[in-house]
Amino acid sequence: MDATLVTNPVQAIDNVQRYNRNLGKFTDLMPYARAWYAIKNKDGWLFAPSKYVGYQELSPDDYLTLDLDGRVTESVLERWSTLIADGHPQYEELHTALNELCARHGKKPNSLARIAIIQTAAAPPAFTDELVELLAAVYRQLSPAQHAIFYNLTKTRPIVPAPSAPSPTTKPNFRR
């Protein structure tokens, strides 16, 4: 059997649910998964590894016996998911939930585990950055000439984080 990649987020969500219904068959592989995908239901978070989520209707036997590649699935799944990086408001909540899931089966998640939330049509993205939204609103109000200037400024200069506070010995640089 050749495994077929998922083609929409509904298939991915169904796969997370199917994985959790059959979780007892996969516990030995839990520590090896690095990319986890999550959905939230009324009982909390459900997780499944990218290799399982990214292929259509895998049976537990297919998952355990076929030569599947989770890296291939991640490129498909990223279209419908939000990676929850360190510093994200839900980072601790999700990693704690994944640790608890693995612990219930006597396992620990991979130390390199990362989690992405699969977006549903009814749910907005898991995290909105108010500053980015504000910048986008300002950008939309710019004239076409200002758009061109903005574009040139952002493409030629690397974007670096602003320092938290100027040092008393640092002289301001007013040159562009």
Residue 112, judged by CB atoms within 10 A of its CB (0-12, 13-18, 19+), counts as exposed
> For 42-67, what is the mean pLDDT?
91
> For 8-18, what is the mean pLDDT?
94
> For 58-84, what is the mean pLDDT?
90
In whole angstroms, give the CA distance from residue 47 to residue 88: 18
Residue 160 has pLDDT above 70, yes or no: no
> For 138-167, what is the mean pLDDT?
68
In whole angstroms, give the CA distance from residue 175 to residue 162: 16
Query: Which pLDDT score is estimated for 44?
Result: 93
Residue 163 has pLDDT above 80, yes or no: no
Query: Which pLDDT score is estimated for 104?
Result: 94
In this predicted model, what pLDDT tens digit does every residue of 15-39 receive, in sequence order?
A: 999 999 999 998 999 999 999 999 9
pLDDT > 90 in the chain, percent: 53
In this predicted model, what pLDDT tens digit does every residue of 101-152 receive, in sequence order?
A: 999 999 999 999 999 999 876 544 545 567 777 777 787 888 888 877 777 7
Residue 171 has pLDDT above 80, yes or no: no
Please state whether the predicted TM-score (pTM) of the whole model is above 0.75: no
Query: Which pLDDT score is estimated for 175?
Result: 54
